[in-house]
Structure 1
Amino acid sequence: MMNYQISRLINFGLQKGLIETDDVEYSVNMLLDVLQLDSFEFFKIEEELATAVPILEEMLEYSVNKGIINNSVTEKDLFDTRIMNCIMPRPNEVVNNFTSLYEKEGANSATDYFYNLSIASNYIRKTRTDKNIFFTYDSDYGEIEITINISKPEKDPKEILKSKNIVSTGYPKCALCKENVGFKGDFNRAARQTHRIIPIKLDNEEYYLQYSPYVYYNEHCIVLNKEHIPMKIDIETISKLFSFVEQFPHYMIGSNADLPVVGGSILSHDHFQGGRYIFPIENAKIMYSVKLEKYPSTSVELLKWPLSTIRLSSDKKKEVLELSEKILEKWKNYSNIDLNIINKTDEVRHNTITPIVRYENGKYIIYLTLRNNRTSEDYPFGIFHPHESLHHIKKENIGLIEVMGLAILPARLKTELELLGKCLLGQEDINKHESLEKHYDWYKDLKNKDFNENNVKEFIEEETAKIFVKALDDCGVFKLDETGSKAFIEFVESI
């Protein structure tokens, strides 16, 4: 009975602070409209749920049976977002609550409220993200973290066909634009009726804070420019990153590089990514320290990390910014043909930086990871990109999150690695599985290593992590051999 499920959802909304008592009748009527019902009778509900998913599942089953929607993952996701919108606070109310908590109780309380709201509203589908696979690997660089992201449901062929028939309107311009708040979605784009954003100022420029619906790590947030303008890495960008951590010192924040191959998935919209998380790069050992006379208060450290990274730390923001700008400009114009580093071809720039910042114990800390996106005949995907022999595990760009040592591996690997384990144990024939063709050379190598029925899962996870570390090694511009390390040190000391 839908009246009972509506009563449950209203009770959930009240408990989670999504609605207040004065909103009840309004929310009920919205739900009746969405579910195509004509009357309502309240049921007394006494339950506490962590998420609304059990209620939504009942409502979705009813809607499929009544022919309101088709029984497909995408239609269900579009529809349950419409349902949750019926018990959502308006955007202005969320902004006011956030601002009030920030002013009265501080940044921690404000982000706690916003993050919990994002989970309660099912904007962050926690029951899905909790299913993501996570494991760690002790590499030569320290602990590396591996995730296999299965929180994005795969479309079936019928849905893919429907998505091809969707005519693009150009609104919103991209998945990050502020116009996504309340957007209904379609077979190509996720519904965003439960999406909320918080206006913030970074160096007096207008940005918005939101959470990622896929939360690759704890409180994974996105900070997006009010305007749809391309990403750019310069000293103003770095200054904005510091402006953010001054306002939210419990978060780190960083930016993808601003060039294809080494950049993120959406280079057309200026944005950053942050969160409440300690990444492996932050625990990396120091390979070399440099003392710069002009910057006596600033620590300059070259990290023992697969991607060439310089860490600056100082209680003087001006020094860190000035030195960051010098390193950035020096790198943009740097070439070393012996190491395959060429900064420009045919007026096309190849060198850029991935910056990551924190504000901790009164110190401004920045990690500057040097990137180069040049391709060649031997490496058409990128000279400093995961090489083709590793593409069976990792083919996608190595972006900000993975630069920091957290792998985001594709969902296909869950079933492929499970099946590969059975092949290694002789329970399946690899030649009979098309999905494993790409892994065949790797499989032959694994067959000669030490594993057994009791540890095959952990064995494959460790070998997968080794492949990811090799992918990171491929992306390092200064390799950590004698020649590369010497050139890296000379590059920094030349400043």
Structure 2
Amino acid sequence: MIYPLIQQLINKAIAAQLIDCEDEIYARNQVLSLLRLVEFKDCEISESNLEIPDLLEQIVDFACEQGIIEDIFDEKEIFSSKIMNCFIARPSTVNQIFFDKYKQNPQEATEYFYELSKNSNYIQMKRIRNNVEYKVSTKYGELDITINLSKPEKDPRSIALERTVQKANYPKCLLCIENEGYAGRIGHPARSNHRMIRLNLSDEKWLLQYSPYVYYNEHCIVLSEDHRDMRITSVAFQRLLNFVEQFPHYFVGSNADLPIVGGSILSHDHYQGGHYDFAMAKAEDDWTFSLEQFPNVQGSVVKWPMSVIRLRSKETGPLVEAGEHILSRWRNYSDETVGIYAKTGDTPHNTITPIARKNQEFYELDLVLRNNRTSEEHPLGIFHPHQDVHHIKKENIGLIEVMGLAVLPARLKDELEEVENFILGKTDSVAEYHLEWANGLKEGYQSVVTPSNVEAIVREETGKKFLKALEDAGVFKTNEEGKAGFNRFILSLS
């Protein structure tokens, strides 16, 4: 039965424009070699709804049955990636096609590369569809909620093997250029089917790729060719705006560069972007201000649960200069009345999460003020989700969350269903850390809850918990005291 699967995969690859009809025999022979088959038998192909990921799974299962690979997660991923590499052009060809399309329209170029990344199974669309996704309306707009179910759990044998294999320093990290075409190994993901687009940002070599587990449309990663620590500087602002100049239909932003408020990978300079409008991008101005030394820049404080300064200009240069000025002031700014201290000894606490976009004729640079100080009451961070929301969101508030998209842990899928049954009185069992919350929901909704609306109720209340996490992360709270503190900082900029 392997031959019909191979032929169906080839047909799907042709239909997805991964290869041309002239490439069929070549691609077939490459796949046969991987499967240690010395011939191909013509076969009838019946109609099938199987997509590329489904066909890959069955072909990989065949490889396991034949003893070609072991039936463990990492080896199956590596083999699957190698099969798809038979259908993808080399990086130079992909880049040539990309920039030929770019000359016509930047959006056509990114659409081509996004489709290539999905069709080649580099972006794991089948797994991503497992995610639970919905929106919750708030006074700040619609927040996006995602329960992340796309990353499969490794089997015990893979985990055991990872403990025994010799550590390697190639590639240096998951974002390095050396991942392009890298087969992978136990403990390091398969990347045979991985391609990158070469970019020039502020006279430096950078690369564009998509996230293998996209959280929103065209979720891309922009990374330095050099393996170096991520830093928020005026040069970073310049690169972000330079990227938006080249791809005006995309936004791009950076995680902050300090622990707690930063991203998961601070050891490699990189940004994230995409073709998506988050709630924060659509948020209105709360109030506006001007900076006398930057007359070509419009400033505003955004109506958002976190502390966001939005700068607008028709030119990118003034935005970089104004952003550098605000960053420099914020790095050393303290206001004990609202609990903001720039340093503890020589340890810095203040930094910025920046986001750039083009909005009609204006460039916009959003500067989200961050502080990573801790205390006995809040050992994970004063401006970090507090204890009362940890049962929903305990992880860092990174770039994606800052903009209004919650990435919640997989455990919540089953746990929230338990909470629903608890509210309906179908069970007395609920996770201990949800109990206080669940009891409050049960009491508050007892007169209106039904089996048909309980899911919507729990989803909305989960969204409120995420909103509270964003409010916790705001350095200047949205109350009168916080607004007064924010105003004092704005005044200090002049």
TM-score of the aligned structures, taking structure 1 as reference length = 0.95
Residues 402-413 of structure 1: pairs in structure 2 closer than 5 A: 402-413=401-412
Structure 2 counterpart of 1:484: 482
Q: Report Cα offsets for 1:440-493 as digits up to 9, x if no partner.
A: 222222221212322111111111111111111110000111111011012112
Residues 215-364 of structure 1: pairs in structure 2 closer than 5 A: 215-364=214-363
Moved more, 207-216 or 92-101: 92-101
Structure 2 counterpart of 1:32: 32
The question of whether the paired residues in 2 share the 8 Å contact of 1:12 and 1:49 is answered with no
Q: CA deviation at 1:167?
A: 2.1
Residues 22-421 of structure 1: pairs in structure 2 closer than 5 A: 22-43=22-43, 51-103=51-103, 105-421=104-420
In structure 2, runs of 5+ residues without a counterpart are: none
The question of whether the paired residues in 1 share the 8 Å contact of 2:249 and 2:275 is answered with yes
The question of whether the paired residues in 2 share the 8 Å contact of 1:146 and 1:406 is answered with yes
SS at match of 2:341: coil
The question of whether the paired residues in 2 share the 8 Å contact of 1:309 and 1:370 is answered with yes
The question of whether the paired residues in 2 share the 8 Å contact of 1:281 and 1:404 is answered with yes
Answering whether residue 11 of structure 2 is matched by residue 16 of structure 1, we say no
Task: Return closer, same or farther for 1:273/1:111 CA change in 2, 3 Å cut-off.
Answer: same
In the alignment, the residues of structure 2 paired with residue 163 and residue 393 of structure 1 have an alpha-carbon distance, to the nearest angstrom, of 30
In the alignment, the residues of structure 2 paired with residue 440 and residue 157 of structure 1 have an alpha-carbon distance, to the nearest angstrom, of 31
Q: CA deviation at 1:317?
A: 2.3
Structure 2 counterpart of 1:453: 451
Moved more, 407-416 or 48-57: 48-57
In the alignment, the residues of structure 2 paired with residue 79 and residue 313 of structure 1 have an alpha-carbon distance, to the nearest angstrom, of 48
The question of whether the paired residues in 2 share the 8 Å contact of 1:290 and 1:493 is answered with no
In the alignment, the residues of structure 2 paired with residue 199 and residue 375 of structure 1 have an alpha-carbon distance, to the nearest angstrom, of 40
Task: Return closer, same or farther for 1:128/1:454 CA change in 2, 3 Å cut-off.
Answer: same
Q: CA deviation at 1:183?
A: 1.4
Structure 2 counterpart of 1:438: 433
In the alignment, the residues of structure 1 paired with residue 283 and residue 48 of structure 2 have an alpha-carbon distance, to the nearest angstrom, of 43
Residue type at the aligned position of 1:56: L
In the alignment, the residues of structure 2 paired with residue 477 and residue 121 of structure 1 have an alpha-carbon distance, to the nearest angstrom, of 43
Moved more, 90-99 or 14-23: 14-23
Q: CA deviation at 1:50?
A: 8.5
In the alignment, the residues of structure 1 paired with residue 48 and residue 199 of structure 2 have an alpha-carbon distance, to the nearest angstrom, of 34
SS at match of 2:301: strand
Q: CA deviation at 1:325?
A: 1.1
In the alignment, the residues of structure 1 paired with residue 50 and residue 106 of structure 2 have an alpha-carbon distance, to the nearest angstrom, of 24
The question of whether the paired residues in 2 share the 8 Å contact of 1:203 and 1:240 is answered with yes
Q: CA deviation at 1:87?
A: 1.6
SS at match of 1:206: strand
In the alignment, the residues of structure 2 paired with residue 247 and residue 227 of structure 1 have an alpha-carbon distance, to the nearest angstrom, of 21
SS at match of 1:468: helix
Q: CA deviation at 1:67?
A: 3.1
Residue type at the aligned position of 2:207: Y
Aligned length: 490
Residue type at the aligned position of 2:314: D
Percent identity between the two aligned chains: 47
Q: Report Cα offsets for 1:137-168 as digits up to 9, x if no partner.
A: 12232221111111111123333222222322
SS at match of 2:209: strand
SS at match of 1:23: helix
Residue type at the aligned position of 1:81: S
Q: CA deviation at 1:72?
A: 4.3
In the alignment, the residues of structure 2 paired with residue 220 and residue 249 of structure 1 have an alpha-carbon distance, to the nearest angstrom, of 15
Task: Return closer, same or farther for 1:422/1:186 CA change in 2, 3 Å cut-off.
Answer: farther
SS at match of 1:238: helix
Structure 2 counterpart of 1:428: 427
Residue type at the aligned position of 1:444: N
Q: Report Cα offsets for 1:57-79 as digits up to 9, x if no partner.
A: 32133223323334444443332
Residue type at the aligned position of 1:63: A
Residue type at the aligned position of 2:484: K
In the alignment, the residues of structure 1 paired with residue 69 and residue 344 of structure 2 have an alpha-carbon distance, to the nearest angstrom, of 53
The question of whether the paired residues in 1 share the 8 Å contact of 2:74 and 2:187 is answered with no
Q: Report Cα offsets for 1:352-371 as digits up to 9, x if no partner.
A: 00000112322111110000
SS at match of 2:271: strand
Task: Return closer, same or farther for 1:125/1:247 CA change in 2, 3 Å cut-off.
Answer: same
In the alignment, the residues of structure 2 paired with residue 440 and residue 303 of structure 1 have an alpha-carbon distance, to the nearest angstrom, of 35
In the alignment, the residues of structure 2 paired with residue 494 and residue 50 of structure 1 have an alpha-carbon distance, to the nearest angstrom, of 61
SS at match of 2:257: coil
Residue type at the aligned position of 1:302: V
Residue type at the aligned position of 2:212: P
In the alignment, the residues of structure 1 paired with residue 248 and residue 213 of structure 2 have an alpha-carbon distance, to the nearest angstrom, of 23
Task: Return closer, same or farther for 1:113/1:441 CA change in 2, 3 Å cut-off.
Answer: same
Q: CA deviation at 1:2?
A: 1.4
Q: Report Cα offsets for 1:83-105 as digits up to 9, x if no partner.
A: 211222111111111122112x1
SS at match of 2:444: coil
Q: Report Cα offsets for 1:104-158 as digits up to 9, x if no partner.
A: x121111111000001101111122122111111223222111111111112333
Q: CA deviation at 1:31?
A: 0.9
The question of whether the paired residues in 1 share the 8 Å contact of 2:422 and 2:442 is answered with no
SS at match of 1:448: helix
The question of whether the paired residues in 2 share the 8 Å contact of 1:18 and 1:117 is answered with yes
Moved more, 70-79 or 393-402: 70-79
In the alignment, the residues of structure 2 paired with residue 35 and residue 226 of structure 1 have an alpha-carbon distance, to the nearest angstrom, of 35
In the alignment, the residues of structure 1 paired with residue 184 and residue 190 of structure 2 have an alpha-carbon distance, to the nearest angstrom, of 4
The question of whether the paired residues in 1 share the 8 Å contact of 2:135 and 2:142 is answered with yes
In the alignment, the residues of structure 2 paired with residue 281 and residue 301 of structure 1 have an alpha-carbon distance, to the nearest angstrom, of 13
Moved more, 222-231 or 33-42: 33-42
Moved over 6 A (4+): 46-50
SS at match of 2:426: coil
SS at match of 1:449: helix
